Amino acid sequence: MKYVLLIHEDHANYKDEEGWNEIIRRHEAFGEAHASAIVGGEGLNGPETATTLHRKGEETMVHDGPFAEAREQLGGFYLVEVASLDEAMAIARDIPFAGDGSVEIRPCIDEG
């Protein structure tokens, strides 16, 4: 089963270069440890770079900013392929964080 692990955290945690390099190094270690399960993933630029399109009926509105204004924002994701939710949760537990944050574990639709 495939799962997306959506990483939500405060982008401000990575303001300084040292913190940034540190988290990159830890993500690399995480990637190596779970290489057999990880299918893909990316880190995202900050929410200040986000553009959101709102669709209402026939109309589309462009919004300068992320989908929802919140302290914790989507900061990156992994796509993993594992046998069960237990395994997805075990991998999600190992995702590195600089401070507080959350990982939303979402199963992908199984197209067979």
Partner 1 sequence: MADSLDLAETVRGKRLRIVAALSAHFGNVELAESAFAEACVRAAETRSPPQDWAAWLYAVAQRIAIDSLRHSRVVRAHAEAATSFDEEVSVSERSMIPDRRLALFFACCHPAIDIASRVALALSTICGFSAKQISRACLLSPAAVSQRLVRAKKKLAGSGIMFEIPDSRFFAERLESVLCTIEIAYSQAHASSDPDGKQALLGRQTLELVDILATLMPGNAQVNALAAALWFSEARRPARRDAAGKMIPLEDQDPQLWNRPMLARARDYYGQIDTAQDASLRTLQADIQALWCSRRQQSDPAPWNRVLARYDRMIAIRDSAFIRLNQVVAIHKLQGAAAGLREFEKLPRAALEGSSAYHAVGAELLSHTQRVPEAIQAYDTAIGLQEGSAERAWLIAQRDALTLRTPP
Interface segment toward partner 1; rule CB under 8 A; list 18-26, 56-64, 66-74, 103-111: 103-111
112 vs 82: CA distance, rounded Å: 15
Q: Pick the binder of partner 1 from 53, 55, 60, 112 (CB under 8 A).
A: 112
Q: How many residues bind to partner 1 according to rule CB under 8 A?
A: 16
Q: Does 12 bind partner 1 (CB under 8 A)?
A: no
Q: Does 61 bind partner 1 (CB under 8 A)?
A: no
* Residue 12 half-sphere exposure toward CB, CA atoms < 13 A: 5
Residue 102's DSSP bridge partners are: 8
6 vs 72: CA distance, rounded Å: 12
* Conformational region of residue 62, where left means phi above 0, alpha means psi within -120 to 50, and beta covers everything else: beta
Q: Pick the binder of partner 1 from 50, 89, 97, 101 (CB under 8 A).
A: 89
Q: Does 37 bind partner 1 (CB under 8 A)?
A: no
The amino acid at 12: A
111 vs 54: CA distance, rounded Å: 28
Q: Pick the binder of partner 1 from 24, 39, 70, 90 (CB under 8 A).
A: 90
The least distance separating partner 1 from the CB of residue 36, rounded to whole angstroms, comes to: 15
Interface ranges with partner 1 (CB under 8 A): 1, 3, 82-86, 88-90, 105, 107, 109-112
